[in-house]
Structure 1
């Protein structure tokens, strides 16, 4: 089965860092023609507001359009895995390389995920002579991926907010 969506409606670039994610809406530009980019950090337990889930909330959510074809390009400076099980998505990435996934989520809602350390073990199998014991060599499982699939109006409102913040 071919994983390439020939004409995705939206392309998002996800960049895994040691403790957070950076997202780029590549198809949409701000007023100065820069891609809309933002960082997404896990909210510390001490800063959570009432009703938010511990270790599952982020300060900036990825908001994407439901009922459309999406391409997510994943890269990282550390061993990383962009993993959102409730969307049926898992994409391992090796530092300095690009990987991509194509999805189409039909239901609006909130989908949680996180970087899994599985990428470290996969790479260790490919290169058994290398060691990945240093914390800077792997992306820890604590960086949360919070994806919200929304309707067209909410999606455009989100893009407008990002453009103003840029």
Structure 2
């Protein structure tokens, strides 16, 4: 599971860099064409909108894998032990339930939209392909949850709210 999570990390990092690059290029061209050429581009607005959607969903999966997602870390200060392990497993199971619901809903949305033949107004792409970001992000979240469960049940009992890598920036801020 760890290998799959690391491969997912590498693929997601590349995909996210591509998404941000496409967003920067599209928005720069959109603003330039509107204000400098006085002829706004309709294509770049649609590309930017769909790229932002893919970016947000893929980034949500990526930060879950890096354990950098928004979290209430009320129990993060607990020492390693059975209580912390139980809380880590419970939180991960809740994330899995959410990801499964997200997967089912996203798959339904994408497949129904593909079946209906709905296309985007400007690019004429099938909307179902755009909506595939939801189930793909869900599958990635489930992969990361499997890795989180592996570590939560291991000897260190790291859960979804515990940092993946020890970061010493707090020590630097405190002057240690």
TM-score of the two chains, using structure 1 as the length reference: 0.23
Q: Which has the higher strand share?
A: 1
The structure that has the greater radius of gyration is 2
- The two structures have a TM-score, normalised by structure 2, of 0.22
